[in-house]
Structure 1
Amino acid sequence: MSGSGPLSGRVCIVTGASRGIGKGIALQLGEAGATVYITGRTLKPNTDNNGVGGSLLETAEEIESRGGKCIPVQCDHSNDDEVQKLFNKVKTEQNGRLDILVNNAFSAGPALATNMRAELRWWEENVDMWDVCNRVSLRGQYLAAVYAARLMVPAKQGLIINVSSAGGLMHFFSVPYSIGKSGSDRMASECSIDLKKHNIAYVSLWPGPTRTEHVLKLQAEDSLEFPGDETKMLSRVIEIGETIEFSGKAVVCLASDPNIMKKTGKILHTAWIADEFRFHDVNGRHHLNPFCLKRMLLMTGHTWLASVMPEFVRIPSWLIAAMFHKFY
């Protein structure tokens, strides 16, 4: 399929692509014909990743089995030298071309789950939790964006995507996590101001709850035990969650959008992109707008009310923003 898809000839980097959402994005970009550089700390298959598995070579093999082209690069995004070498490698091998950067690398999942089970508050957590959440993610996103911009600005084109979450709007998981996601969203907004004149778009992508390998493993082991009513809520969310490739389909649509500059600096939810470009998940499922009442009822267990609630009944985004307004 490489060479004939909608992204034929494009050069992409997807960070943190050995598993999870990053892998799903890389699979879809490769399937769409792009040359995809994927990064992660795990090059070869092993069993040391909290029992979840996944490796760069496995992702690369699956991309190539679909007809795509993939270059796996072992890279720790907390190591500045390794990040610089990654971009130098792309610059050398692709004659300075880079079309798409997807900043997805994130390393705090297991630590967040442990702290939630222990019901630790931010002042009770180890202060290293700040770096666990934000060194690879928030700082790593900025560093990668700097190097990407240095390749994209001379070419007067490009797309940078920060993978973020609703934690950027409200308290979610932990204080360091929410601050980091808020920073990812603000980074896209701020960086887009200078990049817009160079025809480079920078957006923040919010996937919905996603059925990653780690989440499915916890579910299979009946390990989704959290304080209060969060366990029931999380189980319901997982049941209606996105596959890892749904975000990938959204990224392909953004990369193919001739009007992408109209979206630069914005937060984009995967379900909004699916509604605009009229696609479904790889399993055929239609994912509801995160602000529609039907979805909220399903997540809170009110299935009967959800069955009679029209999908078009939604809470306006301005009202959501006002609910979390921080000025007195």
Structure 2
Amino acid sequence: MSEKPLQGKVAVVTGATRGCGRGIAVELGALGATVFVTGRSTREQASAIGRPETIEETAELVDQAGGRGIPVRCDFTDVSDVDGLRKRIESEVDGRLDILVDDVWGGDRFVDWTSPDPTWWTTLDDALAMVHNGIDSHLIALHRLLPLLTARPGGLVIEVTDGDNDDYVGTGIPYFVVKSTIRALGRALGVELAKHGCVGLTVTPGFLRSEAMLEHFNVTEETWRDAPKVAPSEHAQDYVLSETPRYVGRGIAALATDPDVKRFAGRTLASWTLMREYGFTDVDGSQPDWGRWFAEVVEPGVDRSSVDYEEYR
């Protein structure tokens, strides 16, 4: 296989400023893709989230990995912004779009995890804002960009969600509505895109070592295994089974280079199921299996101190 199997391919990654989006963009770049790195945070203008990561940084990481990163500021809740992105694609790469990874989210700031109401975790206004950021943004991206992708057969659309099934695990109703809707979009895309010789599906990461989550546990990428000591809770103990954003990125890169990817059309796949399918590792050489950990340890409530973490990595 070519060292750069995505050379000549064009991808758009929405929500590529940080987290999964950044990891996915970099891994597609590592295989030679031209990646439109889209999001709201730039060096000149921070988004409402207020974090320091920018789309320019992600684009530079794509370049360093071996691809071509093109940063484009885009608010996917704003149709005119997405129209502007489409025009950039049309003018800079002749309208070619081979891979669309729809990772935009921006809803974390609307979740109040300290809320006394364990059903909603948020006010009604914040619930509606979460739905707007997490669902409307995906519909707008698809409406404006799918005509480019379906112009030729072989295109791939991947919706990014949280969780590989529709079981409710107590994340609050608005959050659940958003993430289950994204899985439903993947199922629908699996059917509709097949009519154009393209493939649609959904992917989820496991317990993510994003920039924000590392800060939440007061650890770094070098010290994340110390999370149980820094924040002694079951949640922190489970963080020892976390994965970098590059892990799910490698799974998506594997899908993008799989000549028989259509066999997964409409399905929701996880970083751990993709790892089992393709055999890739995380950046540290490990293979964290959050799905197995959740099923064998978290759900049955096993005492974490009695478990050998390495059996799940």
TM-score range, shorter chain: 0.7 to 0.9
- Is 2:62 the partner of 1:63? yes
Does structure 2 retain, via aligned residues, the 8 Å contact 1:208–1:241? yes
Displacement after TM superposition at 1:282 (Å): 0.7
Does structure 2 retain, via aligned residues, the 8 Å contact 1:18–1:54? yes
**1:19-58 matches, cutoff 5 A:** 19-44=18-43, 52-58=51-57
Alpha-carbon separation, structure 2, partners of 1:304 and 1:218: 22
Displacement after TM superposition at 1:157 (Å): 2.1
Give per-residue Cα distances to partners, 1:124-145, cap 9 Å, x unaligned: 8322223332222212112212
Amino acid at match of 2:192: D
- Is 2:299 the partner of 1:302? no
- Is 2:127 the partner of 1:130? yes
Does structure 1 retain, via aligned residues, the 8 Å contact 2:241–2:290? no
Give per-residue Cα distances to partners, 1:209-256, cap 9 Å, x unaligned: 1011011112118xxxxxxxx972321222220101111101100001
The equivalent residue for 2:238 is 237
**1:64-103 matches, cutoff 5 A:** 64-103=63-102
Amino acid at match of 2:207: P
Amino acid at match of 1:241: S
The equivalent residue for 2:248 is 247
Alpha-carbon separation, structure 2, partners of 1:31 and 1:70: 11
Percent identity, please. Answer: 26
Amino acid at match of 1:235: A
The equivalent residue for 1:203 is 201
Give per-residue Cα distances to partners, 1:81-102, cap 9 Å, x unaligned: 1012212221222122101111
Displacement after TM superposition at 1:153 (Å): 2.0
**1:148-227 matches, cutoff 5 A:** 148-166=145-163, 168-220=166-218
Displacement after TM superposition at 1:39 (Å): 0.8
Structure 1's unaligned 5+ residue stretches are: 222-229, 312-328
Alpha-carbon separation, structure 2, partners of 1:29 and 1:159: 13
Structure 2's unaligned 5+ residue stretches are: 220-230
Displacement after TM superposition at 1:103 (Å): 0.7
Point out the more displaced range, 165-174 or 191-200.
Answer: 165-174
> CA 1:300–1:210 in 2, change beyond 3 Å: closer, same or farther?
farther
Displacement after TM superposition at 1:285 (Å): 1.6
The equivalent residue for 1:317 is none
The equivalent residue for 2:137 is 140
Alpha-carbon separation, structure 1, partners of 2:207 and 2:265: 24
Aligned partner (choices 106, 111, 115) of residue 118 of structure 1: 115
Alpha-carbon separation, structure 2, partners of 1:180 and 1:139: 10
Point out the more displaced range, 103-112 or 243-252.
Answer: 103-112
Displacement after TM superposition at 1:45 (Å): 6.9
Amino acid at match of 1:41: R
Point out the more displaced range, 28-37 or 192-201.
Answer: 192-201
* Count of aligned pairs: 299
**1:248-327 matches, cutoff 5 A:** 248-288=249-289, 290-291=291-292, 296=297, 300=301, 302-303=303-304, 305-307=306-308
> CA 1:164–1:299 in 2, change beyond 3 Å: closer, same or farther?
farther
Amino acid at match of 1:117: T
What secondary structure sits across from 1:155 in the alignment? coil
Displacement after TM superposition at 1:301 (Å): 5.6
Give per-residue Cα distances to partners, 1:168-187, cap 9 Å, x unaligned: 43144221110111111111
Displacement after TM superposition at 1:293 (Å): 6.9
Displacement after TM superposition at 1:51 (Å): 6.4
Alpha-carbon separation, structure 2, partners of 1:85 and 1:235: 42
Displacement after TM superposition at 1:275 (Å): 0.8
Alpha-carbon separation, structure 1, partners of 2:98 and 2:119: 39
Alpha-carbon separation, structure 2, partners of 1:16 and 1:153: 21
Superposed CA RMSD in Å reads: 2.8
